[in-house]
Chains A and B, each alone.
Chain A
Amino acid sequence: MMTHGFRIDQDKCRGCLSCMRACPTHAIRVRDGKARYIPEKCIDCGSCLKSCPYGAITATTWSFQDMDKFKFKVAVPSPVLFGQFPAGVTPAHIVQGLLSVGFDAVWDYGVELFLASRAVLHYVENWKGPFPLISVSCPVVVRLVQVSYPRMIDQLIRLQIPREIAGREIKRRYAKELGLRPDEIAAVYITPCQAKTISILHPAEGVESHLNGALGISEVYNPILASANQQRNGLPPPAEIPNIVRNSTFLGWSVREGLGRSLARHNSLHVTGLANIIQVFDDIEKGKLQNVEFLEAHSCWSGCTGGNLTVANVYVTLSKLRSLVGDLPEMDAETLAEVNSRYPLEDFSLEAPVLPRPIKGQSGDLREKVRLLQEAEAVLKTLPGYNCGLCGAPTCKEMAKDISAGEASKADCVFFSKDRLSELYKRFLLNDR
C-alpha cells in the first residue's frame, strides 16, 4: 500500500511547475502538462499543497462522519489547540466545546508527555549505537529519514510518542470502564497539521497507529468558538476544571521545544524548518555533529504551532500559550502519582521499528542499477545544467536519471527540441484564456 497522502486534481492542474519546484524530495514530475507524484518519494510535508496557485492539490482527510461508526469518541487535542482562541476563551471552554461537537470525552496527554519523556531519557542513556538519536514526533521527519537518509533509520527513536501512548490508554481505560470493545472506541487526534493525519491513517512502513483518525484544528475551530461564546453568554460555567491546567507541561509543550528540555543533560538540538533539517541531516552524514545526542526536528519552521491546519497567527498562539501556562508548576502531585504508577506497567517501545521505504528501481539486479547510474551520469554531462525545469523534472540531474530509467526522453528538454518549446508556449496560450 502506498502511504503518501496527497492527490492532484488533473482538471485543475495547469502544469505550472510550482509544486515540482517546491518539493524538497523531488517527488513531483510534470508530464504532458500535468503534475504527478512519484509516491514513494513523497514525505507528506505539504509544500506542494501550499505552493499550488490553482488549488489542485488536496490531502487525505478524515471527517466528523468517519467518527459515527464508533460508540464512544474521545478527542485527543494537540496542545496547540488551546493557544488558538481569542482572549477570554479558557481551556475549560475549549474542552466543553469539543464535547458539544460530538465527542464523549476529551483526553489531555499531559501524563503521556511525562511518560514519553522518561522513556526517551532512559533510551538515550542506554543507547549503544550511533548518535544523534532522532525524535519521531514529527511524521515528516520520520519520512524524510525513510526516503532520503535510510542509513540513519536506526537513529529514529523506537518509542511511542505521547499522542500514541494516549490512544492506547484511551482504548484500554474506556473499554474497561464502559464494557466496550476497543474497536468501538475512537481516539481522534485534533491536529495542527496534515502530516499527522496522514501518519495516523497511513503510518510509516512498519508501524501502526493507536489513534483512529484526526480532525484539523481548522475544522473544529468554528464550532468550538461558537460553543465558547454561548458558554460565556449566560450559560453556567463548566463545573469541572479540566486536568489540562494541573501543570504547565502540556500547554507549554510547544513553547518549550518539546522533549529537548527533559534531555538538558544530554547534548540536544532543536531544529525547525524542512530546509534547515535537511542541512543538519547532511551535516550528520558528513560527521559534523558528532557530539549531539538527541535531535528534535520539526518540519514547520515555527514548530507545531505553525502547522498547516492551524488558524491563529503563530506568535499570537505562542503568547497565548505562554500566558495560559503562567505560573503553573511544571509538575503537580496528582500527575506525578499517575506517571509513577503507569511508567513501570507500560511498554513504550514501538511494536516494530520504522523501515526504510522501498524506492522503485532500487531493488533488483545490482549490475543493472550500476549501468543506470553510469548512464544517468553520462546523460547529465550532455544536459545544459540550468535546472530550468521546463522538461518537467526539477533539476537536470533528476532528468538525467529519468532519461536513463526510460521515463523521459531528451526531446523533453527545450535545449534539444524546439517542438518542446512551442508545445509549452501553446499550452501557455491555452491556459491564459
Chain B
Amino acid sequence: MPEVLLQRAFEVRGGDFDKAGETSSEIKALLKEVGIDPTLIRRAGVVTFEAEMNVVMYAESATVVFTLSDEDISIEVFDRGPGIADVDLAMQEGYSTATDEMRQMGFGFGMGLPNIKKNSDIFKLESEVGKGTRLYSAIRLDGAS
C-alpha cells in the first residue's frame, strides 16, 4: 500500500473565471516546495488546471483532493453539476460544448480531457447525468508513464 504523505482539499466554484487556476497554482507550489521533479509538476499542473477549468466552465462547484504518496501524485475532482452524458464523446480531441464567449477567453478547444489523460499514468472519469462528475488522475513519482 502506498503511504500518504500529504493531502489537501480545495473548493472550486463554477463560473468563477477570476479565481480559475488558483488551485493548480497552489498544488504546483506545494510540489515545488517538496522538491518534486519539474516535469512531474508540470504534468500535475496540466491535469489540475484542465480539471479545474472544466468545473469553472461546466459545473456548479467541486472539491479537488490532492494527495502525495510515496508512490504518486493523485488528483481527484468531485463536482456537482450537469454531468457528462457521453463520456467517450467528451474524451475525443476537439469535442467541446464551450460557448463562444469561453472560446474568446482562450478556453474550450476540446483538448482538456484528452490532455489530462495524456499526462496521467492512471485516469478515470465517471459521471452521472444531473448529479456530477468524478475525475481521478494519478502520476507516478518514478516518472514511468
Contacts and interface: CB of A to CB of B under 8 A. Distances in A.
B70 A287 contact: no
Interface in A272-302: 282, 285-288, 290-291
Interface residues of B, number: 26
A30 interface: no
Contact of B38 (A151, A369, A373): A151
B143 interface: no
A367 B106 CA distance: 39
Contact of A285 (B28, B35, B38): B28
Contacts of B20: 286-287
A150 B32 contact: yes
A363 interface: yes
Contacts of B42: 130, 151, 154
Interface in B1-24: 5-6, 20-22, 24
B92 interface: no
Contact of A373 (B6, B49, B107): B6
A282 B25 contact: yes
Interface string A351-379: 00000100101111011011001100000
Interface string A127-141: 000100000000000
A411 to B, nearest CB: 25
Contacts of B39: 151
Given A151-B45, A287-B49, A287-B53, A366 B24 contact: no
A204 to B, nearest CB: 15
Nearest to A288: B21
Nearest to B22: A286
B141 to A, nearest CB: 8
A153 interface: yes
A395 to B, nearest CB: 14
Interface in B109-144: 141
A285 B30 contact: no
A363 B6 CA distance: 17
Given A287-B49, A290-B106, A370-B68, A151 B28 contact: yes
30 contacts: A130-B42, A150-B32, A150-B38, A150-B41, A151-B28, A151-B32, A151-B38, A151-B39, A151-B42, A282-B25, A285-B24, A285-B25, A285-B45, A286-B21, A290-B107, A356-B38, A361-B35, A362-B34, A362-B35, A363-B35, A366-B5, A366-B36, A366-B70, A366-B141, A367-B5, A369-B34, A370-B5, A370-B34, A370-B68, A374-B6
Interface of B: 5-6, 20-22, 24-25, 28, 30, 32-36, 38-39, 41-42, 45, 49, 53, 68, 70, 106-107, 141
Given A286-B21, A362-B35, 18 more contacts: A130-B42, A151-B32, A285-B21, A285-B25, A287-B53, A290-B106, A291-B106, A356-B38, A359-B35, A362-B34, A366-B5, A366-B34, A366-B36, A369-B33, A369-B34, A370-B68, A373-B33, A374-B6
